[in-house]
Structure 1
Amino acid sequence: MKVVAFARKEQGTGASRRLRNAGQTPGIIYGGTEPAVNISLDHNALFHALKKEVFHSSILDMDVDGKVEKVLLRDFQMHAFKQLVLHADFQRVDPNKKIHVKVPLHFVNAEVSPAVKLSAAVISHVAVELDVECLPADLPEFIEVDLSKVEAGQSVHVSALKLPKGVSAVVHGDDATVAIAVKPAGAASAEADAK
Structure 2
Amino acid sequence: MPDQFELIARVRARSGTNLVRRLRREGDVPAVLYGGDKENVHIAINHDVLFHSLEKEEFHSAIIIINTDGNKEQAILRDVQRHPHKISILHADFQRIDEKKTLTMSLPIHFIGEQDCVGVRTSGGIISHLINDVEISCLPGDLPESIELDITHLDLNESLHLSDIKLPEGVSITTLMHDENNEHDYAVVSVLPPRIEVEPEEAVVEEEGLETDAEDSEKTTPDESADDKSRDG
Cα displacement (A) at 1:10: 5.1
Of 103-112 and 178-187, deviating more is: 178-187
Instruction: Name the CA distance, whole Å, in 2 between partners of 1:174 and 1:89.
Output: 30
Amino acid at match of 1:78: R
1:174 aligned to 2:174?
Answer: no
Out of 22, 26, 30, the position equivalent to 2:30 is: 26
Over 4 Å off, 4+ runs: none
Cα displacement (A) at 1:114: 1.1
Aligned residues: 189
Out of 155, 165, 185, the position equivalent to 2:195 is: 185
TM value normalised by structure 2: 0.78
- Report the counterpart of residue 92 of structure 1 in structure 2: 96
Instruction: Name the CA distance, whole Å, in 2 between partners of 1:40 and 1:81.
Output: 22
Structure 1 alignment gaps of length 5 or more? 191-195
1:63 aligned to 2:73?
Answer: no
TM value normalised by structure 1: 0.93
For the pair shown, the structure with the greater C-alpha radius of gyration is: 2
CA distance 1:132–1:44, change in 2 (3 Å): same
Identity %: 39
Amino acid at match of 1:178: V
Listed one character per residue, the Cα deviations across residues 51-90 of structure 1 (whole Å, up to 9, x for unaligned) are: 1111101111111111110000000100110011000000
1:44 aligned to 2:44?
Answer: no
Cα displacement (A) at 1:50: 0.9
3-state SS in 1 of match to 2:24? helix
- Report the counterpart of residue 143 of structure 2 in structure 1: 139
Higher helix share: 2
- Report the counterpart of residue 123 of structure 1 in structure 2: 127
